[in-house]
Amino acid sequence: MVLCGTRADNGVMPEALPPEVRLLTAAQVAEMLAIDVDEVVALVLDARLEGMKVGSPPRWRIAADSVDAYLAAQAEETRRMALWRESQTASFPELWGRGAVSPPE
């Protein structure tokens, strides 16, 4: 299966999709992510979501699995950023387990 948004996109029409692949419209994904449809298309073009144009006139369809993976990646990035910010406010003795622990400001 070749979808736009994957690095193997070569402009060739993909073969039939397996039945377990669920496709969503760009509007459905935009509503799920609370962003504009144009931003969804940009995520597909940036290969952060997997999608393709189908039908006549062509309309974007995005693989539901790629939306789940995108949300999981965003959650992980948020978790890591929170840990980083937390580590920036800790003192060295706190990080090393020695000395007094200062209260957060």
105 residues of the chain, pLDDT tens digit each: 445 554 445 555 556 666 677 899 999 999 999 999 999 999 999 999 999 998 899 999 999 999 999 999 999 988 888 887 777 666 555 556 655 555 556
Cross-strand partners of 25: 61
85 in a structural domain: yes
Residue 104 lies in a domain: no
Q: What's the CA gap between 57 and 51, in Å, rounded?
A: 16
**Does the model's pTM come out above 0.75?**
no
Cβ 90 vs Cβ 82: under 8 Å: no
Please give the tally of structural domains in the chain: 1
Containing domain of residue 85, as a range? 23-93
Domain for residue 88, yes or no?
yes
